[in-house]
Every structure is written in C-alpha cells, then in structure tokens.
C-alpha cells in the first residue's frame, strides 16, 4: 500500500503520545507516523506533547498507572485532546490495556490507539493509520457501488445493516459475564460506516437478551441505539429494510434466533413507532465447520468470490458457501451463510453480491476478509469493551455495582460502563 491513498482522510490534530515504559524511540516512531500519514493522504500534525511514565509507577497496579498518566495528561495539556496514542511495553495481555481503554472511551470520550512496536516498518505504520483514520471518522475505502449508488435493493431503499455477536469468557470461568454487541450501519446509502452498542449478560448465554429492554417509557436495548443513529445520520430517514447478520450460533439455535432475537428487534421498532413495519432479512454466518473446496487438478485455493449454493447445501433450506477472501496460508475455509428469514425477497445472485461486497468494507484491511464486516465489527466491539471490567473482581463487586439479573435470578450481572457521548457513534472498535 505504498502509493495508495485513503478515500476520506482525517486530520490528526490536538493529540498527544503517552508511553507506558515501552523501550522504543518515541520521537522516531512519531516522525515515521507523520511521514507515512503524508504518503497516505492523512495530515498528522506534530503531537502537543510526549509523556513518559514516571519510573516509580512501573511496578504499580495497572489502574494506578493509568490514573497517574491521566493526571499528567490533564496537567500538561491546555484542554482535552482529540486523540491519544498509547505505547505499551507488551504486545499481548498488557494489564494497562483494559483500564486505559475504559478511561479514554467511557470516562473522557477520547479516541485512542494502543501500539506495542517491535519492528516498525511501512506496513505496520499503515495498519496503525488505517485504524486511527477510521476511529476519527475518516473512510479508508469505499465501494464503487455504494458511491454510485447501485447496490440492488439496498441503495434505493433506506436499509439498515446489523451485525450481532456474543463474546464469552474462557472455558471453566462460569462467573464471567458474556458480552453482547450489535453494530449498525450509518449514513445510508453507505454500507462502510458503523457504530456499536455493547451490553453484558448472563455467563455463557448465547442468545442476546438485551436487544429490546423497555424501562418505563424508554427502551434501553441495543437495537434502539442503532435505529436512532441510522435515523439521525441518514437524513432523518427510518430504515424500510433491516438486514441482520448473526454470528456464533449453531443450527440447533436457529429457531431461538428467529423466535427470541428477531422478535426483540421487531419490538424495538414498534416501541419507536407502532405504525412502522420494516422488512427483515436474517442471515446466520458460520465459520466453524469442516467443509473445504478445491480446484480439481490444481494445488491452488479457489479464487476469491467463489460461491457454492448447490450440491453440498441443504436440500430445502436457503444457504450457500462463500470464499470471499484469498487464502494466505493453507486451504481457504469458506463461510457458510444460512438465510433464516427473508421478507425483502432478495434474488439469490443479489444477496450473494451483497454478502461479497460487505466482505470488502472492513476498514482495517485493504482486501476482502472471510466474513461480512458487520460481524467482525461486532466481535471486535464485544472483545474491546469486555476489557473495561476486571472480571476476576466481579464476584466481589457485582452486589454493590448494581445491574441486571441472570435468567434464573440467582446472581447479578455487572453492567458495563457506557461509552462517552463523544465516542459513542465512532468506530472506536477498529
């Protein structure tokens, strides 16, 4: 991506760098980032300040390290920064990551990007800039068909695209709540911009129970936030069509998705306007299967965009396999899409084209990915917000924190902190 430029580049200004004791040349990293941004069309101004962690705090608990760093940020900057670049010493499993993200996104509403640079090159810096640009409201890439706009049945009728996923704790940790995430498209007729809503729920519960959550005269559910955001960002248009992509459910749970989750989404729409009757299409995506495709007489993978919708598919139900991406290592595993409900009445080719297109709008990548982007975004949002809570302390704090109850009513589930209004509609999860 040496000479490629971004579709809509943002300006990175009013920003600062914080370094949590990482062993790297901070100013060299900043200068390389500014230079790489210029080649990609992103104006990266010089940071207001570079803050190094106090040596006395290096062995302190992570929340205290984060608190001390924010005290420095507040004392050394004239006002709240728009963006903070956080340099971590560890590439994975950093204790600072969760408390830092929570402080930035929930408490102060500051967009942040964490990096743990070991080998800094053009590819690494480009990947970092792709995330920063998306988080700050830019667009890394746009499909020609959404600029035209000419997506069948989507570009001509206001259409909301939802991606839903549930993230669970590690096996054997039954007291860790599951995290449900819903992402929704915004700025129709675009299909490349999304926002996320995230809630905690009972441990190991796969069905999302907070899509519609009436509280008196209000709805505190996940879907309402996406519906309102679509309306405000799309010229005050209500979606006449809603396409739902669901990840992480087995065939034995398909009826539950239809009878529990789809019903909740319909109720959320009715709660906003009882005369509003959008059409729904519900699709489940599965990656955990053993089906693979080969080219007879060739050692190569099947070409990107390969669709198989007969012979190995269900004899009665509507499903198909798609290899949208180019496999880099090993044999490409296709994604298995099951269409459980289709009131929009997509032609098979039109729906497959839409699924293929949605594999190209992932703002972290310059090529197609293996599954539609809304599902990947939902997974990222759930995983990132889950870091807000220190789960090993949950059993001690849940009684005092307040929150919902499990379906059995036996143990409370600690609620996740809500995102600050400044970042709520951003792609903070990128």
Q: What is the pLDDT along the chain (430 residues), one digit of tens a residue?
A: 444 779 999 999 999 999 998 888 999 999 999 999 999 999 999 999 999 999 899 899 999 999 999 999 999 998 999 999 999 987 777 899 999 999 999 999 999 999 998 888 999 999 999 999 999 999 999 999 998 889 999 999 999 999 999 998 777 777 788 999 999 999 999 999 999 999 999 999 999 999 999 988 899 999 999 999 999 999 999 999 999 999 989 999 999 999 999 999 999 999 999 999 999 999 999 998 888 888 888 888 888 889 999 888 887 789 999 999 987 777 888 999 999 999 999 999 999 999 999 999 999 999 999 999 999 999 999 999 988 875 344 334 444 444 444 444 556 788 889 999 999 999 999 9
Residue keyed to tokens 């956080």: 86
Q: Terminal CA-to-CA distance of the chain, rounded, Å? A: 19
Helices (H) and strands (E) in the chain, counts: 11, 18
Residue 266's nearest CA partner among 340, 226, 339, 211 is: 211
Rounded CA separation 338/342 (Å): 11
Q: In this structure, how many other beta carbons lie within 10 angstroms of the beta carbon of residue 399?
A: 11
Structure tokens at 15: 């920003």
Q: Give me the residues paired with residue 219 across strands.
A: 214
Q: What's CA 148's distance to the chain center, in Å?
A: 26
Alpha helices in 203-277 (DSSP H): 222-233, 254-256, 263-272
Rounded CA separation 195/20 (Å): 29
Rounded CA separation 279/293 (Å): 34
List the domains of the chain with CATH numbers.
11-135 (3.40.50.2300), 144-414 (3.30.420.10)
């Amino acid at each position: 991506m040496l000479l490629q430029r971004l579709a809509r580049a943002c300006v990175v200004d009013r920003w600062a760098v914080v370094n949590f004791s990482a062993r790297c040349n901070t100013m060299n990293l900043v200068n390389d980032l500014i230079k790489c941004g210029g080649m990609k069309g992103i104006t990266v101004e010089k940071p207001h300040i570079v803050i190094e962690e106090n040596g006395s705090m290096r062995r302190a608990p992570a929340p205290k390290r984060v608190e001390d760093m924010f005290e420095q940020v507040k004392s050394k900057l004239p006002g709240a920064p728009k963006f903070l670049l956080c340099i971590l010493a560890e590439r994975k499993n950093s204790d600072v990551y969760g408390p830092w993200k929570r402080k930035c996104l929930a408490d102060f509403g500051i967009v942040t990007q964490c990096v743990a640079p070991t080998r800094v090159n053009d590819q690494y810096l480009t990947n970092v800039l792709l995330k920063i640009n998306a988080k700050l409201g830019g667009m890394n890439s746009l499909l020609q068909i959404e600029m035209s706009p000419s997506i069948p049945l989507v570009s001509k009728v206001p259409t909301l695209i939802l991606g839903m996923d549930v993230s669970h704790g590690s096996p054997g940790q039954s007291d860790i709540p599951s995290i449900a995430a819903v992402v929704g498209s915004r700025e129709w007729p675009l299909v490349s911009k999304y926002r996320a809503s995230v809630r905690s729920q009972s441990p190991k519960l796969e069905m999302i129970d907070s899509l519609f959550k009436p509280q008196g005269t209000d709805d505190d559910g996940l879907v309402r936030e996406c519906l309102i955001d679509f309306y405000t960002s799309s010229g005050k248009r209500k979606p006449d069509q809603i396409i739902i992509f669901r990840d992480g459910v087995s065939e034995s749970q398909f009826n539950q998705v239809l009878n529990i989750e789809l019903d909740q989404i319909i109720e959320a729409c009715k709660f906003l306007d009882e005369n509003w009757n959008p059409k729904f299409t519900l699709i489940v995506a599965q990656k955990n299967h053993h089906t693979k495709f080969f080219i007879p007489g060739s050692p190569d993978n099947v070409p990107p965009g390969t669709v198989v919708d007969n012979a190995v598919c269900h004899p009665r139900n509507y499903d198909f396999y798609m290899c949208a991406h180019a496999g880099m290592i090993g044999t490409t595993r296709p994604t298995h899409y099951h269409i459980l409900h289709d009131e929009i009445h997509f032609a098979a080719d039109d729906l497959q084209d839409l699924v293929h297109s949605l594999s190209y709008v992932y703002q972290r990548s310059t090529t197609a990915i293996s599954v539609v982007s809304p599902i990947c975004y939902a997974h990222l949002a759930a995983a990132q917000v889950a870091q807000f809570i220190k789960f090993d302390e949950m059993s001690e704090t849940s009684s005092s924190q307040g929150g919902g109850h499990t379906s059995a009513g036996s143990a409370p589930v600690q609620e996740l902190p809500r995102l600050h209004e400044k970042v709520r509609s951003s792609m903070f999860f990128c």
